[in-house]
Structure 1
């Protein structure tokens, strides 16, 4: 047998000769280049069927089909604030500065009280401190003389001690109700549909949450707010528009819209058309956004194809400032403070972050993560939670 010849070990100097050019290239890329990579993979058959194909509207915008409850004067009247920027605003603080051009004056009030809606699946997690902070954020930032918050659930939450305290403190501005999907769907294209039974089987509460948000806003009108939000400003200046929000600043081609906070009038024809899409389309996949982001996008494109002015799309930072690049995203609400956030910005009270939260954006969206609490002494506690407590006292 021929002898086995093993390669000689590479000398340190030879290794350095190989690695140094590579290290120099990496350093050059980091120093001089800004590289952004976004990878999305979809089946072409799905894109053709669910995105590119556009069905006609069902007629909800025809004058004879408009509900008397729909406020045409507000819907068609002049608006005082522009909320649709038309660009993703990824540079610096552009998005936050644009948010600062809205309000705080309320120029076009809807008569009567505005309903705000939240939803909690009592069978998945208990209603605990994180959820209580969401309620506190509402009562600390909204005009409760003109607002009523309805907390919806599939279980009885009225015996929860914190909720009972809110009910006692704000008898005219807070209600707790059990959800009845069949009742809320009456008179819509989903009335009696077997689709309704699928929602409660979603263990992430995505499908049923997306269904509930549209049904309650259709039935009562008003604003939907996800329970994983902290409100930072009065939403009233936005309410002359019907709107959803931008998912993030990256222009996701097939997932551009979000309903974490949305607003539509009672019996809005936009929602009427949405229910038609839901009733005639394929059933939603479990734990999916089929009745959320994808539904809004499909509806938006149908409206354009029909020559109907679509609902507005709020820029990403208005309610979800943590959902962009490192240089301009708000810090993670559930992470401990670093030395800086973004491009060398500090966390101090009265600084840029404080101004953004109190004068510009309308919400901080936490994206679930219910197993975590807000860090002690972190920016959320210092700049938001303590402010809520100062306005509400011991509540």
Structure 2
């Protein structure tokens, strides 16, 4: 922002001092901030002003434990009451979020009407440049088999990678021990049905936008859970697989209104959205159509992404609410990404515990970044895999 020449000349003729010139310059900058910026940007400020604690002390209330006699006996959820899997408020602190996660028990607390046995878990497999894809596949498969007595896994590949998967020693071993609960399929057959193969046929492209779109197409036909292959299961997901569809937050900044940071933001390209939907879901149909407009344009002639997956999810979420349709649930971030919270402890799978496997919080899974891969049996990831091998015997 520059001062007009006339103003500068007048200041020089009148020999205006530096303080007065600075005051006028500041006035122009202030006018620019108050007039120009609000006309270009939408400013949303949510401020909360309160007195410092040393000025105004609030009455002390104990929050460390429950002192009421109501919870002295073992607290259980009645058989006819389906346990909630989403909190009533956003959870930013790890102790609150992990406490809520621990309140979700195993599938024995679910009523018969909400139990679903044969749920398909879908993920994908792509050969990598470091030749460690077979090892990573084994870690994921063993973690699933060790924590899930029910449910089946479907590994999706491109047609050019099918033989590599079927000749993998890890695949053959897992197929033998999982006894019909492990299958594979080719995702290009799903893409062909939607006439989008030519737009996303790059075999090395695993961006969140592309893989989320493929996941939506797969769930639209088969239903179940779509997850990233770098996930390590820590407990059964049966309590989450009731009668509601959901996505999992990627960090604690997300809200139930579909904030972009929650669902596949561009800042977390190594993380695709973990989600659960039913086959032929109306909500899923809307998500697919909106994603196609974002990825390919209205004419389906462009392969460039016009917006992130997070913006797509946010747009559909709000449109559903305006149409008086209940959207999908947003599960708390700590159910899976316990290391991604605002105040969470570091649960990096590549850390090396000094005293074996530490006591892990009651999260359902952890995820690692493939770009930071460390092949070391002494890491938390390696120790967890050894424990799963001991449980399974393979």
Q: Name the TM-score class by shorter chain.
A: 0.5 to 0.7
The answer (yes or no) to whether the contact 1:200–1:208 under 8 Å persists in 2 is no
Q: Is contact 1:348-1:354 (8 Å) kept?
A: no
Q: Once structures 1 and 2 are overlaid, which stretch shifts more, 308-317 or 258-267?
A: 258-267
Q: After superposition, where does 1:82-93 map in structure 2 within 5 Å?
A: 82-93=84-95
CA deviation after TM superposition for structure 1 residue 250, in Å: 2.3
**Counterpart residue number, 1:248:** 251
Calculate the TM-score normalised by the size of structure 1: 0.66
Following superposition of structure 1 onto structure 2, how do residues 90-239 of structure 1 map, counting pairs within 5 Å?
90-106=92-108, 107=110, 108-109=113-114, 113-122=118-127, 126=131, 127-143=133-149, 146-154=150-158, 155-156=161-162, 157-181=165-189, 183=190, 186=193, 191-192=194-195, 194=196, 196-201=197-202, 203-206=204-207, 207-239=209-241
Query: 1:66: which partner in 2?
Result: none
1:122–1:153: 8 Å Cα contact kept in structure 2?
no
Secondary structure of 1:128's aligned partner: helix
Task: Give the Cα–Cα distance (whole angstroms) in 2 for the partners of residues 82 and 172 of structure 1.
Answer: 32
- Alpha carbons of 1:170 and 1:92: their partners in 2 closer, same or farther (altered >3 Å)? closer
- Cα 1:335–1:204 change in 2 (3 A) is farther
Partner of 1:14: none
Match of 1:330 among 343, 346, 365: 346
- Which residues of structure 1 form unaligned runs of 5+? 1-43, 49-77, 339-346
State the aligned residue count. Answer: 296
Q: Write out aligned runs for 1:256-271 (5 A).
A: 256-258=262-264, 259-271=272-284
CA 1:385–1:287 in 2, change beyond 3 Å: closer, same or farther? farther
Look up the match of 1:23: none
* Higher RCO (C-alpha 8 Å, min separation 6): 1
Q: Which has the larger radius of gyration?
A: 2
Q: Could you tell me which residue of structure 1 aligns to residue 311 of structure 2? A: 294
Residue number in structure 2 paired with 1:310: 327
Change (3 A) 1:218 1:282: closer
| RMSD over aligned Cα atoms | 3.1
Runs of 4 or more above 6 Å deviation: 44-48, 284-289
Residue ranges of structure 2 left out of the alignment (5+ in a row): 1-38, 44-79, 265-271
Check 1:175–1:141 CA distance in 2 against 1; reply closer, same or farther (3 A cut): same
- Deviation of residue 101 (structure 1)? 1.2
